[in-house]
Structure 1
Amino acid sequence: MLILPSRRQFLTGLGAGAGLVAATGVYAFDVEPLHRLVVTRYAPALPRWNPELRLRVAVLADFHVCEPFMPFDRVAEIVDATNALKPDLVLMLGDYPAGRIAWRRLPLAEFARLAEGLKAPLGVHAILGNHDWWDDEQVQRARAGTPAVKRLLEDRGIPVLENGAVRLAKDGHPFWLAGLADQQPFYGLETGLEDLPGTLALITDDAPVLLMAHEPYIFPEVPERVALTLAGHTHGGQVRLFGRSPAIRRVRGIDVSYGHVVADGRHMIVSGGFGVSRMPVRLGVPPEIVLLDLGARA
């Protein structure tokens, strides 16, 4: 026999459902994006990594500074939390301004000053993302040039790699750090500035390679020579439920939305980053510092 709920039961259930939706909305719009900060740790076994090279790397992506979603006190909190992890190397993966979602834009010169506070023996290195280009009206009008944030970071001692590579060493063990120019620099155009073959041609020996690429979409083209690709851009989809980010498209059948991606023996780690874009919401993918322990022994 079918037993129907009473009017009171129906209204109680409806009210509980509405309350759950409201609580979820408050969490997604306020708590997770603005007040949470996690450290996501990876110790991947990389086939093209020297096991004698033990390297701790902090990866910071997608700040999107603005008010109210990423004010300067939040940036300072991230800098302090990163330094407390005592990384050997800090990598910044682009998208420093917020873009159209900002209620109030903040000066990137102050962001660069705060980023100068990041400390690591092997330095702080950066690349640019699409919003670093899109937010710069001069380079967008010219469809060429150099975004202002590149100069601001370099003036603070943070080199910005654009299709470049630098050879570093830890405890006498060398490795290469390579960084691509952005794949989507001009709003509304498909033309990218990345030069993957030219960048890898700068590598002159067989030391392991870390590759920084703002967008993860280039991963299917990255050769096995690269030990690990590091990317941001996706924010993990900003809404990630049951291990899936429905807003992020697959690339050649590969889910590049978030986390440790392995395809054909090649490895990439995609950071969920810190900020928001398009919509001021994060759910299931809290702002994160990615911490890599490479060459770590069990």
Structure 2
Amino acid sequence: MLSRRALLSQPALSAALAAAGGLAGTGYAIAVEPHRVRVAAYRPDLPGWPAGTRLRIAVLTDFHAHPRCMGEAAIAAVVARTNALMPDLTVLLGDYGSQDRGGVPVETVAGLLRGLSAPLGVHAIQGNHDWGDDRAARRRGHGPTRTERALRAAGLPVLENAAVPLDAAAGLWLAGIESEEVPGAPRDPRALDRHRLAVLARILAPVPPGDRVILLAHEPDLFAAGLDPRVALTLSGHTHGGQVRLLGFAPWIPSRYGTRYAQGHVVEGGRHLIVSAGLGAHFVAGVPLRLGAPPEIVVVDLGGSDATA
């Protein structure tokens, strides 16, 4: 995975940022798009989905909370908009705090997210920055991270390599897998895939063979490894939709697979993945820039035909 330093050294991104400079000069890419949160809606038709079971899931991810982009008022507004969508289940997919100076403390973020409400609960996982930016947890080689402590203190369950039943009668489960950035995870891509599939197998051990699982995975790359057939749907973030997209082209996406899992609904081999572009932004050249990849609340309606809005 490219670091942000490597990102800024990429010629393609430098050219894209130069092209974006004209728009940024008008304030659009800095002052408008990063704050124009849209609702992206999906209705995937999942194979083997329990007949008669309808489920609405709200997906929030990649807050990177900072007063200049996804500050406290913006998070509060996202919470209110999400609740107004009346989801049955709300999931949080990681990267809550900002990596830039002056960010909103993760404890404050967690306190705001405590306002989320859904009949089947609000469940969280952690992202790469929740682990990678926590020096104390990395020195220890294990959690809990500062983020996990903040979420749990706010009453938000954290699915760190765990699965919980959502609807026992329908045989429906929710599972969350750790980020690729946990201490001790292999760096070699093939070894990393083997490691994560082994972790997933342990997570799914209590799930009966005929049941269906919704998997929360911050990074989408695991989807390419060939998941357990019990996983009906994978929900991911991490990519920011590219964060800068010009004429559909994203010069940098933090994935081994480039644009393959950049954003939206992906179907491969009958398996379904939905990737959110997230809410916040990394600072690029000192500004929280988004261009052609607006922040979004994702809503997934299950139990109907496939359509995207």
Q: Which residue of structure 2 aligns with residue 182 of structure 1?
A: 179
Counterparts of 2:264 and 2:237, CA distance in 1:
10
Q: Are 2:136 and 1:131 aligned?
A: no
Q: Are 2:194 and 1:196 aligned?
A: no
Q: Cα 1:98–1:226, aligned 2, differ >3 Å: closer, same or farther? A: same
CA offset at residue 145 of structure 1? 2.6
Amino acid at match of 1:56: R
Counterparts of 1:123 and 1:134, CA distance in 2:
27
Note the alpha carbon deviations across 1:223-276, whole angstroms, 9 max, x for none: 332110000001011012344433126646880111111111111000000011
Counterparts of 2:218 and 2:240, CA distance in 1:
11
Give the share of equivalent positions with the same residue, in percent. Answer: 47
Q: Cα 1:249–1:71, aligned 2, differ >3 Å: closer, same or farther? A: closer
1:1-298 aligned at under 5 Å gives the runs 22-25=22-25, 26-33=27-34, 35-99=35-99, 102-169=100-167, 172-186=169-183, 190=187, 194=196, 195-221=199-225, 222-248=227-253, 251=256, 255-279=260-284, 280-296=288-304
Q: Which of structure 1's runs of 4+ aligned residues deviate more than 6 A?
A: none
Q: Which secondary structure does the structure 2 equivalent of 1:118 belong to?
A: coil
Q: Which secondary structure does the structure 2 equivalent of 1:282 belong to?
A: coil
Q: Which secondary structure does the structure 2 equivalent of 1:173 belong to?
A: coil
Q: Which residue of structure 1 aligns with residue 10 of structure 2?
A: none
Q: Which secondary structure does the structure 2 equivalent of 1:211 belong to?
A: strand
Q: Which secondary structure does the structure 1 equivalent of 2:136 belong to?
A: helix
Counterparts of 2:41 and 2:292, CA distance in 1:
17
Q: Is the 8 A contact 1:47 1:227 kept in 2?
A: yes
CA offset at residue 202 of structure 1? 2.7
Counterparts of 1:145 and 1:252, CA distance in 2:
29
Amino acid at match of 1:179: G
Counterparts of 2:219 and 2:52, CA distance in 1:
30
Note the alpha carbon deviations across 1:120-175, whole angstroms, 9 max, x for none: 000000000011112222112233232011122112221101110000129x5341
CA offset at residue 207 of structure 1? 2.2
Q: Which runs of 5+ in 2 are unaligned?
A: 1-17
Q: Is the 8 A contact 1:214 1:233 kept in 2?
A: yes
RMSD (Å) for aligned C-alpha atoms? 2.6
Q: TM-score, normalised by structure 1?
A: 0.85
Q: Which runs of 5+ in 1 are unaligned?
A: 1-17
Q: Is the 8 A contact 2:220 2:236 kept in 1?
A: yes
Q: Is the 8 A contact 1:51 1:296 kept in 2?
A: no
Q: TM-score, normalised by structure 2?
A: 0.82
Bigger Rg over Cα:
1
Deviates more, 1:86-95 or 1:198-207: 198-207
How many residues are treated as equivalent by the alignment? 277
Note the alpha carbon deviations across 1:52-74, whole angstroms, 9 max, x for none: 11000000010111222221111
Amino acid at match of 2:218: H
Q: Cα 1:20–1:87, aligned 2, differ >3 Å: closer, same or farther? A: closer
Counterparts of 1:224 and 1:242, CA distance in 2:
36
Counterparts of 1:236 and 1:159, CA distance in 2:
27
Q: Which secondary structure does the structure 2 equivalent of 1:70 belong to?
A: coil
Note the alpha carbon deviations across 1:80-117, whole angstroms, 9 max, x for none: 01001000000000000111xx2402222221111110
Q: Is the 8 A contact 1:48 1:226 kept in 2?
A: no
Q: Cα 1:214–1:136, aligned 2, differ >3 Å: closer, same or farther? A: same
